[in-house]
Amino acid sequence: VLDWHRTPAWQACALPMAVQCSSARALRQTGPIPSAGAVRRLSRAHVRLCAVPQQQPRIRRCIMHAVPSAHVEAVAGLDASLTPIIQAALDNCLTETSLELPGEHYVGKVRDTYDLGDKLLIVTTDRQSAFDRHLASIPFKGQILNQTSAWWMEATRSIVPNALLGLPDPNASLMTKCTVFPVEFVCRGYMTGSTDTSLWTHYAAGERRYCGNDFPDGMVKNARLPVNVITPTTKSAEHDVPISP
């Protein structure tokens, strides 16, 4: 379980960006970023982004650590003590951003991306997207997604390098701009789904070969597959499309 509570407001300091972690976890320095000017509001969530002149071109990032849950909580997914915190934040979701930063600003289904030249600032919002639509907003969803991704990038950094430079905010990641391989790798364990790209949609339409995987006749919806399968799709801002070899 990651420490995903809202952090206190940012404080202007000698560093361009810093995370004020309530748990006082370890901080580590990384590479340079462009100056963002004066302090800007990121959202109504009492989180502020601050920057200072470029003569101090460093940020600090919070290194997340996974903390094992108690037995029941690990299965249920939430400690009951967190319920009032979530309820109190229902009207305080991060649904949009408007940071006054140089460069282009792109709005995706869940993430807002700011082009900083050779780097990207990616803000993961609390927007809930399904069927290529924004359906609702969920408190802390953006923090959980962002910090989970950061945890895995740190855990696998010794295996393969990645683009993550730091976390200037629980909802934001500073990334090296790379050429993206626009493919989404979906691992499926069940014959289920309802979207155009779901396994069950294609199987129910009579297809027995999907994304290079063969399926026998007689399977039913929600059945467990004998082995997990990979079903890649294109990664599109509008609508993902299955890829077959």
- Side by side, the strands of the sheet bearing 119-124 are 105-107, 111-115, 119-124, 172-176, 164-169
For position 176, what pLDDT does the model report? Answer: 97
For position 163, what pLDDT does the model report? Answer: 96
Residue 43 above 90 pLDDT?
A: no
Identify whether the C-beta of residue 59 lies closer than 8 Å to the C-beta of residue 15.
yes
pLDDT over 70, % of the chain: 66
List the domains of the chain with CATH numbers. Answer: 27-176 (3.30.200.20), 183-234 (no CATH)
For position 24, what pLDDT does the model report? Answer: 25
Q: pLDDT (tens digit, 9 = 90+) per residue, 76-97?
A: 556 778 888 888 888 889 999 9
Residue 131 above 90 pLDDT?
A: no
pLDDT over 90, % of the chain: 44
Average pLDDT of 16-33? 29
Residue 53 above 80 pLDDT?
A: no
Phi, psi (degrees; rounded to nearest 5) at 154: -65, -40
The model scores a pTM over 0.75: no
Half-sphere exposure in the Cβ direction for 164 (13 Å, CA): 25
CA 223 to the chain's CA centroid: 29
Give the Å distances, CA to CA, from 146 to 157, 171, 237: 16, 6, 19
CA distance 114 to 99: 8
For position 164, what pLDDT does the model report? Answer: 96
For position 183, what pLDDT does the model report? Answer: 85
